[in-house]
Structure 1
Amino acid sequence: MNTMRLAFAVCATLALSTTAQAQTTDNTPFRAADFAYGPRNDLPAGQPAEIWNPAKRKLLAGGPLIGGTIRSTDPRMYCAMAEAGYDFLWVEKQHEATEWEQAARMWRTCPGPAAPGARVAFENEKEVQIATDMGATVVVVPTVDTVEEAKRAIEWTYFPPMGRRSSGGGQGPGEIWNDVPGGYRQTWNDNVVLILMIETLEGVENARAIAKLPGVSAIFAASGDLGNFSGYKEGDPEYERLITEVAHAAEEAGVGLCGPLRWADRPGFTCFQASTESADIKRGAQAEIQEAMAAFQGRSGPSAAAANTAASVPVADVTAQCATITYEADCYAAIEKALSAVKGGSPQEIQAVQASLSDVVGKNPNHAERIREMVAQSGLAIDL
């Protein structure tokens, strides 16, 4: 009996060996296009991918998805922003000299509650691969002009078969997100948020085709650079036509529409870039100081305290956005709000705004002419 079993095993082994040998000696050229992607990374049949990325959940719910901007490399600063109530944070890599190791340290220190993200400098493999491998779950790609550029951004953001992202480890899949429901590799394509920024005239021209590409979560109407590349400012008909075209592209494709936070009242916008950490610190400090001043002046009577309190919020916002002007349009919007807030107000309120604007003009002489024009248009008796 044992002899028969042994003989059967030998025959079976020889048969398998012959089959394998036939397969390896097959000279038919391999064609990737004919290959069917396998089920290795599929979830069990009937099990939907759970959305564990809070930024993706917010976007799918219709927003508002609000992201803070990180220009600092201090993990303590990052953690304060991560716990301040933002849905995600974007580490600025396009306009800062921040190194990836610095971003990785911040994400490792505070991976939440705000989802970690980055505005990468390019749509290439190196930038997107490092961002995602280090833990980013929101990828913002600037200056997307063509469908080809958008496709590259998608390729490097998503795992196969949707994209070409390499599965090579890193602290993102290996440490930060190693216990997400369903598994990181299996659910990544359902959870990542990819935002493509439309910043040039060419980008606007191609926005409808870009927004329709599978894998685009949202497109961003870049308020500053659309003014930079068009030569028109916010409110000009030519400028507003560009914004309207980007909005139509998002609506037509059924993707999110992003812009600066001051556009939260614009129809159609569901995703926003908020202030930098330095602006938030200035605004918070100003509000705290003004509150203390109101309480202090309240000793002299309620009228003095009320006047100070009425001007405190707009003054704090001007200080936050204009002390060091990062985004010109945000500064001008803050000034317009401050001037509007104190129209018909008390002399003390107007004086508080005047003092704030005088400080801004002194620190930013290149913007003095435009600020004086805004004051003149307001009709307020403010001398700068």
Structure 2
Amino acid sequence: MSVRLELPPTFGQVLAKSTRSQVGMWISSGSTINAKICAGSGPDWVLIDGEHSPLSLESIQAQLQAVAPYPATPVVRLPVNDTVLIKQYLDLGAQNLLIPMVNTADEAAKAVAATRYPPEGVRGVGSALARAARWNRVENYLTKSNDEYVSVIVQIESAQAVENVKEICATPGVDGIFIGPSDLAASMGLIGQQAHPDVVANIKKTIAAARDAGIPVGINAFDPKLAHGYIDEGTDFILVQADVAILARQSEALATTFIPIQQGEEQAGKPGEERASY
């Protein structure tokens, strides 16, 4: 007897039903164990990052498999807005894609087209070979995929994108926009100054455009004060930490707590000085 499977709701569908900001975290280490720990810790969603992380197609699929048993919705970020890569990411089972550096409505339309089967788009047909359709165990995957099984979020992370944000938000098939304050600040000549008033002004302009278009808007904010502020302002989804950042900061805190500075200096010793053995 043939097994029939159902796919989980897309991130776009989750956002449409949510009455509060969906809080998530990055999975950037490439570790499936870290992915399991993060997805099982209680966030609403997790971002599997293929742009700034050492992830291949195989390891992204492994990450998706690792987080699948948990309630957190997985979103996968591509390294680039590329039609072939989008097809591959979808086929390996990524339902929710975050497309970086989308600066114009044409670029947004290109991303959407890559996720749709013809005639609405240009996605190649290979469902019998792909985890996306669970190797054709998802009934009517080909006819339902365009409308039900894929969610597209595009990143607004440059001054050019902010200029074109209304047109990007109005692009059919764009399920939401995500603001990248770090790259936005850099594009404005304010690298490392995500809280600069001019950057914040562009962020607010982008949020307002999404509100006017009636689509969800999200943002990245590792600073708790900024994160709480964006949540209070009503952003629909947010990333507040990353697995690698948590490990870096918490391991530093452990070292600071248990290794006093004076002891560290003593352990370093002077040139030629023999250390005591305890």
Shorter-chain TM-score: which interval?
0.7 to 0.9
Aligned residue identity for 1:84: S
2:163 is aligned with 1:205: yes
Partner of 1:267: 233
Aligned 8 A contact 1:58 1:64 in 2: no
Of 72, 75, 84 in structure 2, the residue corresponding to residue 126 of structure 1 is 84
Q: Distance in 2 between matches of 1:142 and 1:323?
A: 31
CA 1:236/1:266 → structure 2, altered by over 3 Å: closer, same or farther?
Answer: farther
Aligned 8 A contact 2:21 2:234 in 1: no
Question: CA RMSD, aligned part only?
Answer: 2.9
Aligned residue for 1:265, secondary structure, equals helix
Provide the aligned length of Structure 1 versus Structure 2.
Answer: 241
Aligned residue identity for 1:53: P
| Map 1:17-56 → 2, pairs under 5 A | 52-53=8-9, 55-56=11-12
2:207 is aligned with 1:247: yes
Aligned residue for 1:96, secondary structure, equals coil
Of 143, 153, 156 in structure 2, the residue corresponding to residue 195 of structure 1 is 153
Report the Cα offset of residue 86 of structure 1.
2.6
Deviation string for 1:239-274 (max 9, x for gaps)?
122112211210111111100251543423111123
Aligned residue identity for 1:221: I
Aligned residue for 1:272, secondary structure, equals strand
| Map 1:1-384 → 2, pairs under 5 A | 52-53=8-9, 55-62=11-18, 63-113=20-70, 114-169=72-127, 170-175=130-135, 178-179=137-138, 183-189=140-146, 190-232=148-190, 233-261=193-221, 262=227, 263-281=229-247, 319-320=249-250, 323=252
Larger radius of gyration: 1
Aligned 8 A contact 1:64 1:271 in 2: yes
Aligned residue identity for 1:194: V
Q: Distance in 2 between matches of 1:134 and 1:120?
A: 13
Report the Cα offset of residue 276 of structure 1.
1.5
CA 1:212/1:172 → structure 2, altered by over 3 Å: closer, same or farther?
Answer: same
Partner of 2:265: none
Q: Larger helix proportion, structure 1 or 2?
A: 1
Aligned residue for 2:201, secondary structure, equals helix
Percentage of identical aligned residues? 22
Aligned residue for 2:101, secondary structure, equals coil
CA 1:198/1:323 → structure 2, altered by over 3 Å: closer, same or farther?
Answer: farther
Aligned 8 A contact 2:101 2:158 in 1: yes
CA 1:201/1:264 → structure 2, altered by over 3 Å: closer, same or farther?
Answer: closer
Q: Distance in 1 between matches of 2:230 and 2:38?
A: 20
Q: Distance in 1 between matches of 2:252 and 2:97?
A: 29
Q: Distance in 2 between matches of 1:225 and 1:209?
A: 20
Deviation string for 1:178-218 (max 9, x for gaps)?
34xx6433332323221111111111100110011111111
Aligned residue for 2:212, secondary structure, equals helix
Q: Distance in 2 between matches of 1:234 and 1:123?
A: 24
Aligned residue for 2:33, secondary structure, equals helix
Aligned 8 A contact 1:201 1:230 in 2: yes
Report the Cα offset of residue 82 of structure 1.
2.1
Aligned residue identity for 1:272: I
Aligned 8 A contact 2:10 2:151 in 1: no
Aligned 8 A contact 1:120 1:128 in 2: yes
Aligned residue for 1:140, secondary structure, equals strand
CA 1:82/1:211 → structure 2, altered by over 3 Å: closer, same or farther?
Answer: same
Q: Distance in 2 between matches of 1:166 and 1:75?
A: 29
Aligned 8 A contact 1:53 1:192 in 2: no
Deviation string for 1:162-192 (max 9, x for gaps)?
32212213122125x834xx64333323232
Aligned 8 A contact 1:116 1:135 in 2: no
Q: Distance in 1 between matches of 2:38 and 2:143?
A: 30
Report the Cα offset of residue 56 of structure 1.
3.0
Aligned residue for 2:62, secondary structure, equals helix
Q: Distance in 2 between matches of 1:55 and 1:250?
A: 17
Aligned 8 A contact 1:219 1:250 in 2: yes
Aligned residue identity for 2:201: R
